[in-house]
Amino acid sequence: MDTFSWYAGENGANQKKNKSVPLCNLSNLQLRFLCPSDLEEVRALCRDWFPIAYPYAWYEDITSNPRFYSLAAIYNGVIIGLIVAEIKAYCNLNKEDRSILSSSYGKSATVAYMLSLGVCEEHRRNGIASLLLDNLVSHLTLSENRDCKALFLHVLTSNKPAILFYENRNFKLHSFLPYYYSIKGTRKDGFTYVLYLNGGHQPWALSNSVRYCREGTAENRYFKYNEKN
């Protein structure tokens, strides 16, 4: 399934989803995991934030299935931001994503895929997306997740705010995905961005090709923001 990120179970898992983490600087802002009762609110937000129509089953999964890391930012009792990710076995990745990690890590290696990151428009540029992402990265770098070698995502090539957000947080351009998204019947190009964790790295043979993609065609088409803006 195409996913979109924007900068614009077990009993133990269920208990974890009910916890909230108060923030010291904003007394009315909390972080907590999504739960089934959030489904309709999350669905309305995603319809507003993202151009991709997710099936109802997707919302059921991210609000109830413990395999997803689904963290929400709550302000005055309302969800104003969320991040959704899933840890996957490297061997179960789609063909276009397998090149993000060196095969030398073996069958035990896992990677995390960020399905969505969104913040309500009126609350953007207040550090909420960074806070959500930082919590995810902290989770992925715990000793229990030491086999997770990378966090990756897909993003529209036209989504300049998202691209700059991820690049400013050390994500690296990995690949160009022509016609990756289908949005309202129109095919759109995408990028894969990767943040390496726990000693992970890409296959060495790809270094030159990624550099060429960044410095050549991809940059000429998408990355000359300072010249245009």
- Which of these is catalytic: 7, 69, 113, 180? 113
DSSP state of 85: E
Q: Is the dihedral of CA 145, 148, 149, 151 positive or negative?
A: negative
Q: Is 179 among the catalytic positions?
A: no
SS3 82: strand
Number of H helices, E strands in the chain: 8, 8
Q: How far is CA 21 from the centre of its chain?
A: 21
CA distance 46 to 44: 6
Cβ burial, residue 104 (10 Å; 0-12/13-18/19+) = exposed
144: tokens are 């229990």
Please report how the helices 56-64 and 39-49 are oriented relative to each other, as an axis angle in degrees rounded to 10: 120
How do 148-156 and 110-119 pair as beta strands? parallel
Q: Is the dihedral of CA 50, 52, 53, 54 positive or negative?
A: negative
Q: How far is CA 136 from CA 47, 82, 150, in A?
A: 23, 11, 12
- Which of these is catalytic: 7, 90, 154, 181? 154
Q: Is 90 among the catalytic positions?
A: no
Which residues carry out catalysis? 113, 154
